[in-house]
Amino acid sequence: MVRSYFHLHLVSDSTGETLINVGRAAAAQYEGVSAIEHVYPLVRSGTQLERVINEIEQAPGIVLYTLVGRELTERLEEACRATGSPALSVLEPVHRLLQAYLGTHSTARPGAQHMLNAEYFKRIDAMNFTLAHDDGNLPHDLNEADVILLGVSRTSKTPTAIYLANRGLKTTNIPLIPGVPPPAILETLRQPLIVGLIASPERIVQIRQNRLLSLKADDSSSYVDREAVANEIATSRRLFARNRWPVIDVTRRSIEETAAAIVDLHREHRLKFIAD
């Protein structure tokens, strides 16, 4: 299949994260087409914008932007018309909807979503907790966690925990090792949501083999034996079922999809915990 490319310019007066996520989510829907991304964060002055416009002139394409200043917006749109580059304010349709519903106008504040408020510091605290409790560390204070992830080796526990921490959830992950019982305290915890992560034996073996290859280690052990891995997963399933812990199969899930499912489970868990 022949793959075609186009230039995608992402112009933001903040970090550009919103534009990157929107641009990639939309571009991913077009098979055989890839975007050459040009990201311009923290564009807040005319001088900075002119440098952006110069690059757009050199490589015309689609322009997505989140600029709140009218002068900058008008100058960018003018330049895009001159180069034949379609331009769209990603937040403008949302602002119009909010204004119509709320009956009030917004206040232009570049980067307002990244203010150092209580939510921001909550995320920092969650990240510090999660990093300190990675891979079964500090099991004595598990009750302080919001989420506890259990699973055999290579079920994406650590990256999922870090993603959840960035959402403000204190997360610890505990590996399930053959012949080693999990911490007994898990069966008495009420506050944290405990989630079991599983994957198909084939997927686990593949990831483990790649891991050993990168480490230039011997791959003849039971660590990558398909039958042994299947037994590990079956044992973990029995543990999860016995304790009625929710289970997520990560075989075909991205980290983001797994985390989203856990966030929903945590919301339901908190409601039940509060009710009790």
Give tens-digit pLDDT for 172-209.
Answer: 999 999 999 999 999 899 899 999 999 999 999 999 99
Interior/surface letters 192-214, b for 16+ CB within 10 angstroms, e for the rest: bbbbbbbbebebbbebbeeebee
Binding residues for ADP: 151-158
Predicted TM-score (pTM) of the model is: 0.73
Q: CATH for 4-110, among 2.40.30.10, 3.40.50.2300, 3.40.50.460, 3.40.140.10? A: 3.40.50.2300
| Beta-sheet strands, E only, within the chain | 4-12, 33-40, 62-66, 87-89, 147-151, 171-175, 193-198, 247-249
Q: What is the residue extent of each domain of the chain? A: 4-110, 117-273
| Beta-sheet strands, E only, within 107-226 | 147-151, 171-175, 193-198
Q: What is residue 69's predicted lDDT score, i.e. its pLDDT?
A: 84
Decide if 194 contacts 243 (C-beta within 8 A): yes
Binding residues: 151-158
Q: In this structure, is the dihedral angle defined by the CA atoms of residues 261, 265, 270 and 275, taken in order, positive or negative? A: positive
Give tens-digit pLDDT for 78-127.
Answer: 999 999 999 999 988 988 898 898 988 766 666 555 555 677 788 899 99
What kind of architecture, by CATH, is found in domain 117-273?
3-Layer(aba) Sandwich (3.40)
Give tens-digit pLDDT for 203-228.
Answer: 999 999 998 888 887 776 889 999 99
Q: What is residue 68's predicted lDDT score, i.e. its pLDDT?
A: 82
